[in-house]
Amino acid sequence: MRLKRLDIVGFKSFMDKTVVLFDDGITGIVGPNGCGKSNIVDAIRWVLGEQSAKHLRGGSMQDVIFNGSASRPPAGMAEVTLTFVNDHPDEVPARYRSFREIAVTRKLFRTGESEYLINRTPCRLMDITELFLGTGVGTKAYSIIEQGRIGVIVSAKPEDRRTLIEEAAGITRFKAKKRKAERKMEHTRTNLLRVGDLVTELKKRLDSLERQARKAERYKALKQELKEIEVHIAAHRFLEIAATRRALDRRLAALRAQEADLEGRTEALQQSIAQRRDRLSAEEARLAGLQERAAALEGEAKVCEERARGMMRERESLDARAKEAQEEMAALEARRRSLAEERARLEGAQVEIAELIEADRVALREQTEAQEAALQEIQRLDEEMEAERAGAMNAVRVLTEGRSHLAALERRLAEARSRREALATEAEALTTRLAQLASERRRLETKLTETRQLHLRLEEERRVQEETLARTTAELEETSAGLETARARLAERRSRLASLEEIQRRYEGYEAGVRAVMLGREALRAAHGGPAAAPQTGAEGGTGDTAEAAGQEPSPTEPAHALPRDLDPDAILGLVAEVLRAAPEAERALEAALGLRLQAVLVQDASTALRLAESLEASEAGRCTFLPLEGLRGEAARALEAVPDDADVLGPALAFVEVEAPRYEAVARHLLGNVVLVRDRAAASRLHAATSGLTFVALDGTVVEASGALTGGRLKDAGTGLLERRREIQELSAEVLVLARKAETLEATRERLAARVRKLQAGLKTLSRDAHSEQINLVSQEKEAHRLEDEIRRLEDERAQCQLEMEQLERLHRELEAEIARTQAAMEAAEREQATRQARLEALAETLAEAKASAEAVQDAVTHLRVKAAGDLERREALARELEKLGQTEGEIETRLRYLAGVVEGSGTSFERLDAQVEEDLQAAERLKAEAARLRTDLARGRETLNAALAAVKEDEAALAALREAHEACRSEAHGLAMEDRELALEARHLAEAVEERYAARLEDEVYRWHLAAPPTEADLDRLAALRAKVERMGEVNLTAISEFEALSERYRFLSEQKADLEASLDRLERAIVKINRTSQKRFVEAFEAVNERFQKIFPRLFNGGKAGLALTDPSNPLESGVEIFAQPPGKKLQSVNLLSGGEKALTAVSLLFAIFLVKPTPFCLLDEVDAPLDDNNVVRYNQIVQEMSLTSQFILITHNKLTMEIADTMYGVTMEEPGCSKLVSVRLSGEEADAERAPSEEAAVA
C-alpha cells in the first residue's frame, strides 16, 4: 500500500477542511511552534484507531474536536480520512484486494458517538486493526515516530522494545489471533466446568428416574387392569339402570293415559256446570229486570200522585199572584206621572249649559293667540343665545388649542434642556473613559511581560509532572496484573457456584411432585406480591443459565404447578434438606438414613398438607411427602437410651445434625430420633443383633433398620448429594466472598492509582492548557491593545458629535421661546372675546326667562279655560244621559204594565187547566199500582224455580271435586316415577362422568364392548380389592417419571455431546496456539537476526564509526524475551544505552529504526522532529539514509532543520493566520525548480 492523501475536518486546530496529498519520495511539513504540525501526526494516529487520549496529547477523546477560537465557535464533530493506493493487494485481507484505493475514516461527535468506515462503509475498530496488522502501520507500530518518542525507543524496557521486532517480523497478526484463541479457551474451560457439573448431577438423577420409570410402568399396568374391572362393573350397572328405566317408562305411560282420561271427564263436567251457571245467571238477570220494572211502576205511581199535589199548590199560587199584579199596576201608574215632571226640568237645564259653552269657546280663542305670540318671542331669543354661545365656544377652542400648543412647546423646550444636559454629561463621561482606556493600555503592556514569564514556568512544571506520571503508571500496571489474576480465580469459583445454585433453584435432583410444590410456592408468593425466595442463596455473583454455560440458548424455566390461589405460601416452610445441616464426615451416612425423606416438604399443619396432596392428585403433577410441624411427634428419641456403650458407636445421629431454627428440632427428632451412627457395616449388623428399636447407619452409607432390613452399596437415589451440595454451596459462597474482597482491595488500590494517574494527567493537561491559554492570552492582549486604540478614536468622534448636537439644541431653544411668546398673545385675545360673549349670553338669558314666565301665565289661562269648557261639555252630556235613562225607565214601566194586565187576564184560564190535569194524574197512579202488584207475583214464582236449579249445580260441583282429587293422585304417582327415572339417569350420568374423568373413556363405548359379557362375579370384586391394595402398597408413584426420564436422557445426551464438543474445541485451540507459537518464534528469530545485522551496519554509518548490536534477555524463550541494545559510539567504551547523551540516544534509536525499515519496509514513515537533537553533521548522514530509503517507502518529515528541508520533494507549510485555526500551504520541489525555489520556500516556511 502507498499513502495517497489525508483529509482533516474539525480535528484539533484544523477547523476547515484540509487536504494533504502525499507523493512518492519525501514530504516535508514545516511551520512555527504551536501552529499545528504535530496535529497532523495525531490525526494519522487517531484515524488508525488510537484509543488513548494521552497519546494524542489530550485529557479525553473530546479534546480532539476543534474547541473554538476567539472568532469561531466549537465544532460539533471531528473527521479524518486516510487514503491508500492498493498497489500490493496480496498484503491486505482478501475482502479488500479488489479495491484500487482503500480509504479509512473515523468520526467523533461531541455527543460521544463515533463511527469507523472503510471506503465509506461502516465497520468496526477491529476491522481497521486487522487491515494494518503485519504491515508496520498502526498506532503502536514503528511507522509513526512522534515528537519525543525517538528517545523512548532506547530508554524503554527490553520487553516493550521487542514490539518493534515483532512488527518487523509480521507476527502481530499471529499474536492477535493467539490472544483471541486464549480468551476463547478461557471461556471454553468455564463452560466445560459448568457443563461437567451439570452432566454429573444429571447422571445421578438419571439412575433414580430410571427406577421410578419402571415402577411407574408397573403402576400403569395395574391401573389398566383396575380400569378394565371397574369399567366392566360400571358398564353392567349402566345396563341395569337402562332396564329399570324402560320398566318405569311403561308404568309412567299407563299413568299418563289414566291422567288424560280423568282430565277429559273433569273438563266435560266443568263445561256442563259452566253452561248451567250461565243459564241461571240469565234467569237471575230476568228476575232482576222484573223486580226493577215493578219498582219503576211503583215509582211512577208515586210521581203522578206528587204531580197532582203540585198542581193543586200551583193553582193556589196563581190566585195570590193575580192579586199582587193588580196592586203593582196601581204603583206603576203613579211612578209614570213623576217621571214626566223630571223630564221637563232636565230639558230646561240643557238650554242653560249650551249658552255657557259658547262663551268659553270665544275666551279660549283669544288666549291661544296670545300664547302663540309669546312662543315666537322665546324662539327668537333662543336663536340669539345660540349664536352668542357658538362665538364663545370658538373663543374657548382657540384658547384650548393655544394652551395645548403652549404645553407642547414648553415640553420640547424642557426636552431640549434635558438633552443638552445629558450631552454635557456624556461628553464628560467620554473624557473620563478616554483616560481609563489610556490607563488600561499601559496595564496591558505590563501584563504581556508577565504572561511570557508564566509560560516558561508552566513548561518546566509540565516536565516534572510527566516524570511522576510515568512512575505511577508503572505501579498501576503491576496492580492491574494482580487484579486480573484474582478476578480469574473469582470467576472460576463463581462459575461453579452459579452451576450449583442453578441446579438448586430448579430443584433438580428432586421428585416431580416436590418440584411442583416448591415452584408453585414461589409462584404464589409472586402472585401475592411478596418476594419469591430462592431455594438457596449464594454469596456473590449472578448465576447464568445451564444452557448458556453449554454455549446454547437458555431453556425456558419449568412451569410452576398451580397451587390453590387462596393458599398461604408461608404455610409451606421448605424442604427437609433445606433445614438440616450435617457434619461433613456424616453427610453420606445421614443421606443414606434419610433417603427420600430429605425431599419431604415441611408445612405448617395437616390441613395444608391435605390441600397440597389433593392439588397434586388433581393435576397429576407427581407425588410428595408432607411433614406438618403441628403435632409432629419425636417419641422415638426415647429409644436412644438403649444404645449400647460400644467403641464403634459414634453417637446418635442427632448429635451430627444442626437445624436452621429451633422450631425444626422436632423434625430432626422425628426423622433421626432412633438412628445411631457407627463406624462400619459390620458394627451396624453386630449392634442391631444386640439391641432393638434402633436403626444403625455406617459412615459408608450402610443402613440396618430396626426391622432388620439392611441397605448397602453406593447410594444413587434422587436424594443423593443434597446435603453435600448444600454444604458445597455454602463453602463456595464463603470462598467467593473472600476472593471478592481481595479483588475489591486490589480494585480499590488500582482505582486509587488510576485516580492518581488521572489526577496527574488532568494536572498535565491543565498545565498544557494553561501554557496554550497563556500563549492565546498574549495574542488576545495584543488584539486588546488594538481594540483600545480603536475605542479611543471612536470615543473622540463621539465627543465631537456631542459638541455639535449641543450647539444645535441651543438654536432650537431660542426658536421655542419665541413661539411660546406668540402663542401666549393669541391666548389673551381669545380670553377677552370669551368674556364679552359671556356677558351677552347672561343678558339674553334674563330676557328669555321673562318671556318664558309670560308664556307660562298665558298657558295657565288657556289650560283653565279648556278645563272649564270640558266641564261644561261633561255636564251637557250628563243631562243627555239622564234624559235617555228617564226614557228607558218610562218604557220599562209601560212594558211591565202590559205584562201585569196579561197575568190578571190569564189567571182564570190556568185555573181550569190545572183542575183537569190533577184529575188525570190521580187516575194514572191507580193503573201503575195494579201493574206493579202483578209483576211482584211473577217474581216470587221465578225465585222458587231458580233455587231448585242452584241446588242441582252444587251436586255436580261436588262430583267435579272428586274427579279432581283422582286426577291429582294419578299425577302425583306419575311425578314420583319421573323423579325415580331422573335419579337413575343422574346415576348413569355420574357413572359416565366418573369413567371419563378417571380413565378418559366414554361409558357408552364401553357398554357396547361389555354388554355381551357375563356380569361381574365375586372373583372380579375380590380381584378389584386386591388390585387396589397393590396400588396402595406401591406408595408414592411418579407417573411423570417416564416422560421426565426420556426428557432427562435427551438432555443428558445433549449435554454430553456438548461436553465432548467443548473438549474437542479446547484441544483444537491448544493445537492452534502451539502452531502459532512455533510460527511466531521462527519469524521473530529470523527478523531479530536480520534487524541485528542491519543495525550493526547502520550504526557506524550514522555515528561515523563505533559499533552496536542487539541481544535477547532470555535466548531460551524468544517468544517472551526482551530486546537489549548495546552501543559503543566512536572513541567510547561499550556501555548501556541509558548512559548515552540525548543526541547519541536519538541517533542510536534512528539507527535501530532504519535497520527495521531495511528488513521490513512500511508503506510510509512519519518522523516528527526526530532530527531535533542532532547536530548538522549527524543530520547530513541522517538525511542521506532517509533519501536512500525513500526509494522504497514514503517519508513524511516534520522538521525545523533547514538541512532536512532541503531533501524534501514536496513541502507543506502550517501557519495560524487566524488565532487558533491552522492553515496549510504547499510547495512542490522537483528537478530544476528545486534549486530556484528551495531558498525562498525555506525562508517562508521558517517564517
The three-point CA angle 649-654-660 to 5° equals 150
Lowest-confidence segment of 52-61, 765-774, 1178-1187 by average pLDDT: 765-774
Mean pLDDT in the chain? 77
Q: Give the pLDDT of residue 30.
A: 92
Give the span between the Cα atoms of 1055 and 840, in whole angstroms. Answer: 131
Measure the CA–CA gap between 234 and 256, rounded to whole angstroms. 32
pLDDT value at position 362? 77
Q: What is the pLDDT of residue 537?
A: 40
Tell me the per-residue pLDDT of 807-832, one tens digit each, with 9 for 90 and over: 877 888 888 788 888 888 888 887 88
Higher pLDDT: 50 or 544? It is: 50
Orientation of helix 172-505 relative to helix 722-999, angle to 10°: 60
Judged on CB neighbours under 10 Å (0-12, 13-18, 19+), 322 is middle
Instruction: With beta carbons less than 8 A apart as the criterion, state whether 654 and 637 touch.
Output: yes
Averaged pLDDT, 454-480 = 79
> Once rounded to an integer, what is the mean pLDDT over residues 871-890?
75
Whether the pLDDT of residue 139 is over 70: the answer is no
User: What average pLDDT does range 1108-1132 have in this prediction?
Assistant: 81
Has residue 1232 got a pLDDT over 50?
no
Write down the pLDDT at residue 112: 85
CATH class of the region 510-536+548-717: alpha beta
- Indicate the pLDDT class of residue 134, thresholds 50, 70 and 90: low
Residue 554 has pLDDT above 60, yes or no: no
Tell me, what's the pLDDT at 1241? Answer: 35
What is the end-to-end Cα distance of the chain in Å, rounded? Answer: 35
Q: Strand 1210-1218 and strand 26-30: pairing?
A: parallel
Q: What's the pLDDT score for residue 1012?
A: 67
* Residue 681 parent element (H or E): helix 681-690
Closest CA to 847 of 342, 347, 378, 317: 378
Q: Which residue has the cell 466549537?
A: 74
Q: What is the pLDDT of residue 636?
A: 46
Q: Which of 802-806, 1069-1073, 1205-1209 has the highest mean pLDDT?
A: 1205-1209
Residue 1217: phi and psi, rounded to 5, are -60, -40
**Which cell numbers in the block locate residue 1148?**
542510536
Residue 306 Cα to chain centre, angstroms: 106
Between residues 879 and 1134, which one has the greater pLDDT? 879
For residue 268, pLDDT over 70 is answered with yes
What span, in angstroms and rounded, lies between the C-alpha atoms of 114 and 883? 128
Question: What does the block give as the cell for 352?
Answer: 242653560
pLDDT tens string 1061-1080? 878 877 887 888 888 788 87
HEC assignment per residue over 571-585: HEEEEHHHHEEECHH
Q: What is the pLDDT of residues 506-552, one digit of tens each?
A: 777 677 878 888 888 888 877 766 555 544 443 334 433 333 333 33
Neighbours of 574 (CB within 10 A): 16
Dihedral sign, CA of 1181, 1184, 1185, 1186?
A: positive
pLDDT confidence tier of residue 643, bands split at 50, 70 and 90: low
Enumerate helices (H) and strands (E) in the chain, giving the number of each: 20, 25
What's the pTM value of the predicted model, to 2 decimals?
0.37
In this predicted structure, the answer to whether residue 863 has a pLDDT above a threshold of 80 is: no
| pLDDT tens digits, one per residue of 3-16 | 889 999 999 989 88
In the block, which residue shows the cell 494494518?
132
Q: Are strands 601-603 and 626-628 parallel, antiparallel or unpaired?
A: parallel
> Does residue 841 contact residue 389 with C-beta atoms inside 8 Å?
yes
Q: Where are the domains of the chain?
A: 1-143+1162-1247, 510-536+548-717
Report pLDDT digits (tens) over 1138-1178. Answer: 777 777 888 888 888 888 878 877 778 888 888 888 888 88
Q: Which three cell numbers stand for residue 634?
A: 419425636
- Torsion of Cα atoms, 466 then 470 then 475 then 479, to 10°: 100
**Which of 1225, 1170, 1238, 1239 shows the shortest CA–CA distance to 29?**
1225
Q: Does residue 81 register a pLDDT over 90?
A: yes
- Please tell me the predicted confidence (pLDDT) of residue 864: 75
pLDDT of residue 117: 94
Residues 638 and 645: their CA atoms lie apart, in Å, by: 16
Q: What pLDDT sits at residue 1111?
A: 84
User: Is pLDDT at 105 greater than 90 in this prediction?
Assistant: yes
In one-letter notation, the amino acid at residue 162 is: R
Task: Quote the pLDDT of residue 909.
Answer: 67
Phi/psi zone of residue 846: left (φ > 0), alpha (ψ -120 to 50 degrees), beta? alpha
- Residue 237: the pLDDT is 76
What top-level class would CATH report for the domain 1-143+1162-1247?
Answer: alpha beta
Residue 1215 to residues 159, 422, 1219, Cα–Cα distance (Å): 40, 49, 10
DSSP-assigned letters across all residues of 330-355: HHHHHHHHHHHHHHHHHHHHHHHHHH
Averaged pLDDT, 428-453: 80
Tens digit of each residue's pLDDT (9 = 90 or more) over 159-200: 777 777 777 666 666 666 777 777 877 887 787 788 777 777
List, as one string, the DSSP characters of 234-294. HHHHHHHHHHHHHHHHHHHHHHHHHHHHHHHHHHHHHHHHHHHHHHHHHHHHHHHHHHHHH
Sequence-ordered list of residues with C-beta below 8 angstroms from that of 810, at least 6 positions apart, any chain: 420
| Three-state secondary structure of 580-645 | EEECHHHHHHHHHHHHHHHHCEEECCHHHHHHHHHHHHHHCCCCCCEEECCCCCCHHHHHHHHCCC
